[in-house]
Amino acid sequence: MNVRGKIWSLPGDRPTPSQESWLRGWDGLVSRDGDNHKQNKLVRMVVRMSRVLRRARYPARRSKYANHLYSDRQHVILLALRQHLGRPYRDFCDIMEVSAALLGEIGLRRMPHWTTLHKFSKRAEVWRLERLLLACVDEAGLRALDLAVDSTGFGSTSASEYYVRTIERRTGKRGRPPKNRKVRSYVKQTAAVETRTQLIVAVKFRKGPANDSPDFVRVLRKVEQARQDVRVVVADKGYDAERNHEYVDAALGARSVIPVRAADRPGIRITGRHRRGQVRDFDRKGYNRRTMAETINSVEKRRMGDHVLATGTAQRHKELVFRALAYDVGRLEVLFLLIIDVFYRGLFWAALYTKLED
């Protein structure tokens, strides 16, 4: 039985426009009317990114001698949109040239040349870009953070799996055994994410493969700049170290939930006060929130790709920061729609109870 359709089933008893939009579901909340381009997802992301840039006080121009054709904020928005669409520079500029609504919302009369975006990406400062992730957390209005730390890898090449396997089996010369060449190098990203809103708070990069534990403290030091209370930090066994527990306790004043390696093996002596406490009283329910970090990694790779297009190390790191920014802005729009959905859901149940009482 479609309860939504039965509430206003009496003749002459019609829902209000706001209630009718909720009855149509998400498509009712987000209009698909071509005339109202501000309801488009990309346009709403541009508006949200503009708010985040103002909140982070990102400078419009780094130098007073810079030309006034394009601002740094416009460059950041365009580069984040490029990551959201997952396109190379040339293809992205070709798409944007025919997107008059997006260019108008950004405040551009014409699309910059692709080399302009590339040059700005090379001179952009990573620490300024990472502050935008903290501004996204402020935009969500959180008073305290529940963090999960996890790492993932992004391929440094777009070569297919078939090509990689072929290279691994290829011999150097006729009659010699295979060299067993393996494409092992990749960009390793360690991210601290907020588990309730599924927002990326801070990121740390290095060349992989590498040990997980050293990046735990480094990524959490970036979270300190948010100046928000941290209640709990969850991580997997790869981050099991007494110094990590001590940092969470002393620097953040939070509770750490990290399982101890080899805790169930007999004859293993567990060292460290915090690690022994994890063995005695491990919060299994709180540890399950770590799966939110795996979800974010999965969404980011499925939507924007599992490899980076840049060739230099610094450019790869900046590309992934822009990717994290594009993910956070898109996630903020989803959270905004969820709030609207909950609001109209309350109106729906209020109208249902009124009908039942009558």
Model confidence over 85-97: pLDDT tens digits? Answer: 999 999 999 999 9
Rounded Cα–Cα distance for residues 262 and 202 (Å) = 29
Q: How many CB atoms lie within 10 A of CB 36?
A: 10
Which range (109-118, 216-225, 335-344) has the least confidence? 335-344
Q: pLDDT grade, residue 8 (50/70/90)?
A: very low
Model confidence over 298-342: pLDDT tens digits? Answer: 999 999 988 888 888 899 999 999 999 999 999 998 888 766 655
Give the phi and the psi of residue 220 in degrees, each rounded to 5: -75, -25
Domain membership of residue 223 (yes or no) is yes
Instruction: Give yes or no for residue 4 having a pLDDT over 50.
Output: no
Token readout for 54 is: 């103002």
- Lookup result for tokens 């990472």: 130
Q: pLDDT grade, residue 15 (50/70/90)?
A: low
Domain membership of residue 62 (yes or no) is no
The set of residues, in sequence order, having a beta carbon less than 8 Å from that of 25 and lying 6+ positions away, is: none
Domain membership of residue 351 (yes or no) is no
Tell me the torsion sign for CA atoms 202, 204, 210, 212.
negative
Q: pLDDT grade, residue 28 (50/70/90)?
A: very low
Residue-level pLDDT at 219? 95
- Lookup result for tokens 């009124």: 354
Of the candidates 89, 76, 85, which has an alpha carbon nearest to the alpha carbon of residue 304? 85
Whole-model pTM: value is 0.80
Tell me the torsion sign for CA atoms 344, 43, 192, 293.
positive
Q: pLDDT grade, residue 182 (50/70/90)?
A: low
The set of residues, in sequence order, having a beta carbon less than 8 Å from that of 257 and lying 6+ positions away, is: 232, 233, 234, 235, 278, 282, 283, 286, 287
Domain membership of residue 57 (yes or no) is no
Domain membership of residue 106 (yes or no) is no
3-state secondary structure the chain: CCHHHHHCCCCCCCCCHHHHHHHCCHHHHCCCCCCCHHHCHHHHHHHHHHHHHHHCCCCCCCCCCCCCCCCHHHHHHHHHHHHHHCCCHHHHHHHHHCCHHHHHHHCCCCCCCHHHHHHHHHHCCHHHHHHHHHHHHHHHCCCEEEEEEEEEEEECCCCCHHHHHHHHHCECCCCCCECCCCCCCEEEEEEEEECCCCEEEEEEEEEECCCCCHHHHHHHHHHHCCCCEEEEEECCHHHCCHHHHHHHHHCCCCEEECCCCCCCCCCCCCCCHHHHHHHHCCCHHHHHHHHHHHHHHHHHHHHHCCECCCCCHHHHHHHHHHHHHHHHHHHHHHHHHHHHHHHHHHHHHHHHHHHHHC
Q: How many CB atoms lie within 10 A of CB 192?
A: 27
Domain membership of residue 41 (yes or no) is no
Model confidence over 115-143: pLDDT tens digits? Answer: 999 999 999 999 999 999 999 999 988 88
Q: How many CB atoms lie within 10 A of CB 70?
A: 20
Give me the number of domains the chain comprises.
1
Q: What is the CATH number of the domain that holds 214?
A: 3.30.420
Model confidence over 262-285: pLDDT tens digits? Answer: 777 777 777 888 888 888 888 889
Domain membership of residue 38 (yes or no) is no
Q: Domain range holding 277?
A: 143-308
Domain membership of residue 79 (yes or no) is no
Q: How many CB atoms lie within 10 A of CB 194?
A: 26
Taking all residues of the chain, what is their mean pLDDT, rounded to a whole number? Answer: 82
Q: How many CB atoms lie within 10 A of CB 273?
A: 10
Token readout for 348 is: 């729906």
Instruction: Give yes or no for residue 29 having a pLDDT over 90.
Output: no
Rounded Cα–Cα distance for residues 308 and 86 (Å) = 10
